[in-house]
Structure 1
Amino acid sequence: MKKFTLLLFMVASLLASCSNPTFKQEEISIIPKPVSFELKESSFRFESNTSVAILDISAQKAANYLVGKLKMAAGYNLDIETDAAVNGVVFKKVDMEPEAYQLEVTPEQIVITASDESGFFNGVQTIRQLLPSQIESMEKTKADWLVPCCVVEDAPRFSWRGMHMDFSRHFFDVEEVKEFLDYMSLYKLNTYHMHLTDDQGWRIEIKKYPLLTEKGAWRIENNQDTICNERAVENELYTIDPKNYREKDGKKEYGGFFTQEQIKEIITYADERCITVVPEIDMPGHFKAAIDNYLFLSCTGEAGWGRVFSTPACLGKETTYEFMENILAEVVELFPCKYVHIGGDEVRIESWEECPKCQKEIKKHHLADEHELQSHFNRRIEKFLQSKGKQLMGWDEIVEGGLSEGATMMWWRNWVPKAPRIAAENGNDMVITPTAAYYYDYLNDHNPIDRTYAYEPVPDDFTPEQTKHVLGIQANLWSEWIPSFKRLQYQAFPRLIPMAETAWTAKELKDFDDFNARIQHHYSRLDEMGVYYYIPAVKGLDKDIVFVDSVLVELNLAYPHNGAEIYYTLDGTVPTRNALRYTEPIVVSSEGEIKARTYKGEIFNDLITAKIERQSYQEASDYIPGNKGIKKYFLKGKYKSMDDIHVSDSSPYIQADTIQLGQYGEGTDFAIVYKGFLNADKDGIYEFEMKSDGESLLYLGNELVIDKATEERNPYKKYEKVALKKGWHAFTVKYLPSTKPKAIEVRYALQGEKLQGFNTAVCAY
């Protein structure tokens, strides 16, 4: 009998262990990383009769969300009770810091402790991530709905954990917004910034000014649409969503807008997920969609463009202020949030310099210049918003004419590091959202997850008092080249995930290797959610390929990713999964074009293309130079073009160790010429890189290799490849500076090897 009892006990224990298994630490992948996580033996199983109890109304949204997820994915119709359950899920209110939570999971019970609805909701998102990825399914599916037994203590680093979407350049509808809000909630992001107006389209109904949406929400295709259409020929990820077109008076127009009822619907949906929605109504610049239809707003009675930016609203007319305030009066009634963002960036002040009314306004209020005129405008709008119980927010350009005491700044121009310091010293709050890390309209290749993760948003030299003014961080999705929700997903993910960890997790707890291991588990979750995310790009085709007889082309993924494979073509067609699959380096012996992209199931990424060019070797010089270094000719004078720059054997020069701008004195009335011989130590294909701010030329012998003309945001780089025979090769570099001389550098290497500068080790004269 004793043996039989023991056997029953062993069987019962075995069944219990099978029904409530113990998880391994490597199976846990909570993002953002919590303050503390302790894994325990066994697990909690959700079943069709699991109890859910809330002991305070502040837990209602979190309980609703959890029950809703289980109903959708598991088919469970769980009731929410108001009495403490002995078993099941219990939401318990205690005093804690805002948004913080504690989670304790045993085989019998899950207890979520918090002090506010956001804290409870954040706890549910951790449970969501501890459940299998099938919890994200939009239809009933089979899974073991297990949560590992654990103890979690957690609280956010920042109160502002934001994502931004631009609706003006390309539009996204209500259902797409809701889907994006669900992505945000999973990663404990709590602020959704809607960029609703800009030059390219007005996207929110304003009842007092119906033309804003009747006409201002629609456009014939512009240059942004045209570029997307051109890219879509070979890359369908740039296809403009056809549902955002309409036919009007025989014309095809692009656009769309939110009615005020739809805005309320979005806000309600976000609020159920403890997400605050912040509107942005750009003013006084980026206002062309309004000026086009209400011409009295401009300085001249016409809408238009400057060299880069649109002509702003006139700030010398009282009617302008009335118009702005009437718009904002409707906006503040719709959005219950604390802030209203008015943009304030990239304003073309030249029109105000030429406008008598604006100049009169400057004199009337004793303003120093047009920047202060914009600050004067900001203060008037801020005073109006404050009368409505709201606070003004703007991009960091609002610093330039002086910040008012209550304004909150978004720092986006990482090349203007003084802006956050000015704001902090002035006592103004700020949100950190620089292009260097958090502009997700930039390609993933240029702003990858490791760079996003490594970025520290609080400046190193901030004092503890200044740090208090950093509300948090935000990533932005400007939609010039994001013409569909599929492309928006591709640009946002996976970079949204490391940003979310920085926003939540304490700096000292962050570790990229640990994060990178955890994020691997999240791709299956994104798959379940239907997110079209970026997969690693093909490396090896970033520059054109040159060969003499043949060349071995090696392709690689930018980083390892399970299930990702490279497909390529050599005939100029776009590779599909039916194309050649890359398994080993490719021998290429004919000219053409190689195209490649990565596939993972139905997901593919942007197309990578490289031209393949055959060259003949350029023979080495018969001349053997005797002096190490480079001849540098500094020519003073005003040169109109490269054709005016000449040196001869008798021209005075100095010996230089490398090609660099160095000291050039003041002004821009000069040119520099570098001459010498470069030693190619073997026959081969050599790659050359020129970095310059102005007009620059690189000759090898008499052949022009690189011709670089001035462009915006200099300096920039240009590359070319040349087949060289072993030996000394004469070179000439000519440099004509831009209006702001910055750099002239030349580097080289054998094709595929690391570039090095022209220097005395390889150059002579």
Structure 2
Amino acid sequence: MQITSSFNLRLLVALLLFLVSSTLVNAQEQPARYLIIPYPQKLVAGNGAFIINAKTVIVAASKYKNESTLLNAIFSNKLAVSSTSKANNTIRLVNDSTITAAEGYRLAITPQQVTIWAKGGAGMFRAVETVRQLLPAGIEGKQTGVFSALSLPSVNIEDAPAYAWRGMHLDVSRHFFSVNYLKKFIDLLALYKFNKFHLHLTDDQGWRIEIKKYPKLTQEGAWRTFNNQDSICIKKSADNPDMAIDPKHIIKKYGKTLYGGFYTQKQMKDVVAYATARHIDIIPEIDMPGHMMAAINSYPFLTCNGQNKWGKLFTTPICPCNEEVYEFAQNVFTEIMDIFPSKYIHIGGDEVDRSSWAQSDACKALMQKEGITSTAQLQSYFINRMEKFFNAKGRKLIGWDEILEGGISKTALIMYWRSWVPKAPVEAAKNGNQVIMTPGSPLYFDTPPDQNSVYNVYHFNPIPTGLTANEAKGIIGAQANLWTEYIPSENRADYMYMPRMTALAENLWTDKASYTSYLQRLQEHYERLNNLKVNYRLPDFKGLVEQNVFTDETVLDLKSSLKNITIHYTTDGSLPNANAKVLDRPFVIKEPVHIRLAAFKSNGTAGDVYNLNYTKQTLAQPEAKANVESGLLCSYYPGSYKSSKLMAAVKATEVFTVNSVVVPTAVKAPSFGLRYEGYLNVPADGIYSFYLTCDDGGILNIAKREVVNNDGWHGPIEKSGQVALKKGMQPIELNFVEGGGGYTLKLKYSINGSEPAEVPDSWLKH
């Protein structure tokens, strides 16, 4: 009897565990019911729904007045707010000091009432945003009207973020953005539970914040005549109106056309208050000692030699050996601290051309006095001195990872961006510094997005290899950066960060979730973004290849994954617009043709333009090869090549054998070229698609036919092409170049519409 009872108890426990786990799994499999991004740490589905009507009351203590106000704003302020409790038909905001996480919360929705528990305003507001996402997307950007149409699905949620720092960055120096846009950006940060907004306020191209002690910083430094980056944007606007310079920021002055703008201190304090109410810290960045051309133009005493120009790579920096410079910097940051209450201040510290320091007598004297032996240490002297000033004001200094080079205190925060220096975040964490991860790949959102961008952001691991579990605690989170050299408009900015932002949100909040579930939930979020007037990038069409081949005929058959999308196309080379032909049925292709197509939203805005070339080919005959060996030959060409074709005139210094298309570990030069040669042992006749991702550039030839041209210096972009192959040994040549700054090289294939996969090592021969 004792044995039977024990068995039954174990069976009952197992059954209960199964039911709980099934409920959790089913919650992730019910995206239509729980459309939350980022997904909660723990969600248990319930039955029924809470109906919101005109008699619903928000019950909140005075501690949560701000959060209850923001909650009521979701309902156009039509609900009553009270400090007294009712049994039913209430949304209750309850303080719970037992919750340990500052941003943690619990949410219980039943058909009778909604209850939110948190220990403070940050956690309560994150819960409010969860409630917002559980409501129909139609609540966004309009009056809700009839409350009887609103309901919240029953659920129990326990939630808290995986990482403390969940940030987005916006560069307003290269191109200026309005106060209204900053608030729109903050609203989206709040919606997706970010808590840090890194605002890059100054750079060579413009000074964007009023400093009353130095009025010329904005009177002169906030404006410029069109530069080379502006010219490129203007040229691209012929095909893409989002690339046009915003006329709101163009003025006529001194007989010149000037472009720019700045924020007054009053305006920025208003923006800060808007963000603070939503529990988002705005981290101001005043970039120095480099990237200061806009300031130096008006105050030339800031440099060591009075000059202000572009060097080989970067501009002349301010002088760390001049006391007037420290007085200037401290005066500027004193006013910045008066505007921004955040305990974090970003000083930049990246890409400093220190050559003028090496020639300065004042710097030579200071270096001798302080025992400084290099200009890198001289930069650290400047950063460390500014950090002491920050600390005296109760603030913490953040710098880009270059500030590590000459030595840095353990109290400075390091923002890691140089993905080609993987040791930087590891060394910083081992040194005891807190580290914010923002590597260029995949978290520089100014890199043009492609079909892999969302996946890469979602699967990014903020913890670098080489750290113990205790050292990994120094990695406090991550952020994505939006540098705006080629982002001249608010629409273009929206396009570049959305929907990548949502993938980062889930990565940093939930940490471990289902990518399949995320994609299903994201599909439904597009309607919400439409109502918020966000010019997001449309989802990619699956299976499209840029360079297509066929032997007899092929079919182009596309369907959008979103509602109310129309596909328009042209075959005469012209840009497709809303009046072009509609692709609403399979398109049979029997002759070579160039098709340009784009998806259009119901409001008339277009997504990416796809350029599809179709060429007729015969199946390439294989070569008769005997006694082949595994792998490809890889020739190494150290040096800088802006095109992979330039390697043809140079002799390789080494030749390796590689078993897959990877960069050999022996390749150490910062800039180099590689040529991979050999054969593909093709297993069957067919049309093969190849997908080549390069940073910087590359060209793939198979069967002596160019298949993918992804040449030139650029970020990690995937391009694709097809080739018709017969079974057997087919010659392959891949030329790849890296210009410096970190490389990416990936080669995948598919056949007959299969999912792209790595080229099998067994196919590679020489």
Instruction: Name the TM-score, length of structure 1 as normaliser.
Output: 0.81
- Mapping for residues 203-242 of structure 1, pairs under 5 Å: 203-242=208-247
1:178 aligns with 2:180: no
**Unpaired runs of 5+ in structure 2?**
1-28
Are the counterparts in 2 of residues 431 and 471 from structure 1 also a CA contact under 8 Å?
Answer: yes
CA deviation after TM superposition for structure 1 residue 445, in Å:
0.9
Structure 1 counterpart of 2:406 = 401
- 760 and 218 in structure 1: CA distance in 2 versus 1, 3 angstrom threshold: same
Structure 1 counterpart of 2:46 = 40
- Mapping for residues 437-586 of structure 1, pairs under 5 Å: 437-445=442-450, 447-505=452-510, 507-508=511-512, 510-538=513-541, 543-545=546-548, 552=554, 554=556, 556=558, 560-583=561-584, 586=587
What is the identity, as a one-letter code, of the residue corresponding to 2:194? L
CA deviation after TM superposition for structure 1 residue 120, in Å:
1.5
Are the counterparts in 1 of residues 632 and 765 from structure 2 also a CA contact under 8 Å?
Answer: no
Are the counterparts in 2 of residues 311 and 351 from structure 1 also a CA contact under 8 Å?
Answer: yes
- Between the aligned partners of 1:100 and 1:80, the Cα distance in structure 2 is 23
- Between the aligned partners of 1:499 and 1:409, the Cα distance in structure 2 is 20
- Between the aligned partners of 1:500 and 1:269, the Cα distance in structure 2 is 20
- Between the aligned partners of 2:495 and 2:111, the Cα distance in structure 1 is 39
Structure 1 counterpart of 2:23 = none
- Between the aligned partners of 2:700 and 2:454, the Cα distance in structure 1 is 36
What is the identity, as a one-letter code, of the residue corresponding to 1:44? F
Match for residue 131 of structure 2 among 127, 143, 153: 127
- 288 and 84 in structure 1: CA distance in 2 versus 1, 3 angstrom threshold: same
What is the identity, as a one-letter code, of the residue corresponding to 1:38? V
Match for residue 607 of structure 2 among 585, 601, 605: 605
- 310 and 569 in structure 1: CA distance in 2 versus 1, 3 angstrom threshold: same
Are the counterparts in 1 of residues 443 and 479 from structure 2 also a CA contact under 8 Å?
Answer: yes
CA deviation after TM superposition for structure 1 residue 613, in Å:
6.3
Match for residue 96 of structure 2 among 94, 97, 100: 94
- Between the aligned partners of 2:384 and 2:765, the Cα distance in structure 1 is 60
- Between the aligned partners of 2:639 and 2:68, the Cα distance in structure 1 is 73
- Between the aligned partners of 1:241 and 1:534, the Cα distance in structure 2 is 20
Are the counterparts in 2 of residues 628 and 760 from structure 1 also a CA contact under 8 Å?
Answer: no
Percent identity reads: 36
- Between the aligned partners of 2:186 and 2:657, the Cα distance in structure 1 is 62
CA deviation after TM superposition for structure 1 residue 575, in Å:
1.3
- 360 and 704 in structure 1: CA distance in 2 versus 1, 3 angstrom threshold: farther
- Between the aligned partners of 2:744 and 2:152, the Cα distance in structure 1 is 58
Are the counterparts in 1 of residues 170 and 482 from structure 2 also a CA contact under 8 Å?
Answer: yes
- Mapping for residues 617-636 of structure 1, pairs under 5 Å: 628=628
Structure 1 counterpart of 2:387 = 382
SS at match of 1:471: strand
- 238 and 376 in structure 1: CA distance in 2 versus 1, 3 angstrom threshold: same
Structure 1, residues 558-604: CA drift from partner, whole Å, max 9, x if none? x8444445322111111123323335554456666321122332342
What is the identity, as a one-letter code, of the residue corresponding to 1:50? T
SS at match of 1:605: strand
Structure 1 counterpart of 2:119 = 115
Are the counterparts in 1 of residues 105 and 118 from structure 2 also a CA contact under 8 Å?
Answer: yes
- Between the aligned partners of 1:679 and 1:340, the Cα distance in structure 2 is 57
Indicate the larger mover: 583-592 or 742-751: 742-751
- Between the aligned partners of 1:231 and 1:487, the Cα distance in structure 2 is 12
1:362 aligns with 2:386: no
- Between the aligned partners of 1:672 and 1:517, the Cα distance in structure 2 is 40
Are the counterparts in 1 of residues 678 and 764 from structure 2 also a CA contact under 8 Å?
Answer: no
Structure 1, residues 93-118: CA drift from partner, whole Å, max 9, x if none? 12122122222233333222211111
SS at match of 2:457: helix
- Between the aligned partners of 1:664 and 1:174, the Cα distance in structure 2 is 50
SS at match of 1:513: helix
Q: RMSD of aligned C-alpha atoms?
A: 4.6
What is the identity, as a one-letter code, of the residue corresponding to 1:80? V
- 540 and 250 in structure 1: CA distance in 2 versus 1, 3 angstrom threshold: farther
CA deviation after TM superposition for structure 1 residue 363, in Å:
2.7
CA deviation after TM superposition for structure 1 residue 681, in Å:
11
Structure 1, residues 149-192: CA drift from partner, whole Å, max 9, x if none? 33322222222221111101111111111111111111221111
Structure 2 counterpart of 1:253 = 258
Structure 2 counterpart of 1:8 = none
- Between the aligned partners of 1:721 and 1:544, the Cα distance in structure 2 is 6
Are the counterparts in 2 of residues 746 and 758 from structure 1 also a CA contact under 8 Å?
Answer: no
CA deviation after TM superposition for structure 1 residue 281, in Å:
0.6
CA deviation after TM superposition for structure 1 residue 238, in Å:
1.8
Are the counterparts in 1 of residues 104 and 159 from structure 2 also a CA contact under 8 Å?
Answer: yes
Are the counterparts in 1 of residues 108 and 157 from structure 2 also a CA contact under 8 Å?
Answer: yes
- Between the aligned partners of 2:245 and 2:734, the Cα distance in structure 1 is 44
CA deviation after TM superposition for structure 1 residue 269, in Å:
0.8
Structure 2 counterpart of 1:6 = none
Match for residue 165 of structure 2 among 160, 164, 175: 160
- Between the aligned partners of 2:74 and 2:640, the Cα distance in structure 1 is 70
Match for residue 103 of structure 1 among 96, 107, 110: 107
Structure 2 counterpart of 1:315 = 320
- 717 and 591 in structure 1: CA distance in 2 versus 1, 3 angstrom threshold: same
Are the counterparts in 1 of residues 632 and 660 from structure 2 also a CA contact under 8 Å?
Answer: no
Structure 1 counterpart of 2:140 = 136
- Between the aligned partners of 1:470 and 1:635, the Cα distance in structure 2 is 36
What is the identity, as a one-letter code, of the residue corresponding to 1:572? G
What is the identity, as a one-letter code, of the residue corresponding to 2:229? Q
Structure 2 counterpart of 1:432 = 437
Match for residue 150 of structure 2 among 142, 145, 149: 145
Indicate the larger mover: 603-612 or 94-103: 603-612
- Between the aligned partners of 2:266 and 2:151, the Cα distance in structure 1 is 40
What is the identity, as a one-letter code, of the residue corresponding to 2:223? W
CA deviation after TM superposition for structure 1 residue 44, in Å:
2.4
CA deviation after TM superposition for structure 1 residue 691, in Å:
9.9
Structure 1, residues 483-507: CA drift from partner, whole Å, max 9, x if none? 11112222222221121122222x3
- Between the aligned partners of 2:736 and 2:188, the Cα distance in structure 1 is 50
- 728 and 101 in structure 1: CA distance in 2 versus 1, 3 angstrom threshold: closer
- Mapping for residues 44-83 of structure 1, pairs under 5 Å: 44-55=50-61, 57-71=62-76, 76=78, 78-83=79-84
Indicate the larger mover: 413-422 or 139-148: 139-148
- Between the aligned partners of 2:466 and 2:573, the Cα distance in structure 1 is 52
What is the identity, as a one-letter code, of the residue corresponding to 2:538? I
What is the identity, as a one-letter code, of the residue corresponding to 1:27? R
Structure 1 counterpart of 2:17 = none
Structure 2 counterpart of 1:277 = 282
Are the counterparts in 2 of residues 228 and 240 from structure 1 also a CA contact under 8 Å?
Answer: yes
- Between the aligned partners of 2:464 and 2:120, the Cα distance in structure 1 is 31
CA deviation after TM superposition for structure 1 residue 417, in Å:
2.0
What is the identity, as a one-letter code, of the residue corresponding to 1:308? L
- Between the aligned partners of 1:470 and 1:352, the Cα distance in structure 2 is 33
- Mapping for residues 718-733 of structure 1, pairs under 5 Å: none
What is the identity, as a one-letter code, of the residue corresponding to 1:253? L
SS at match of 1:313: coil
Are the counterparts in 2 of residues 184 and 190 from structure 1 also a CA contact under 8 Å?
Answer: yes
- 727 and 241 in structure 1: CA distance in 2 versus 1, 3 angstrom threshold: same
Are the counterparts in 2 of residues 414 and 436 from structure 1 also a CA contact under 8 Å?
Answer: yes
Are the counterparts in 2 of residues 639 and 645 from structure 1 also a CA contact under 8 Å?
Answer: no
1:197 aligns with 2:205: no
- Between the aligned partners of 2:682 and 2:741, the Cα distance in structure 1 is 34
Indicate the larger mover: 580-589 or 462-471: 580-589
1:422 aligns with 2:424: no
CA deviation after TM superposition for structure 1 residue 684, in Å:
9.6
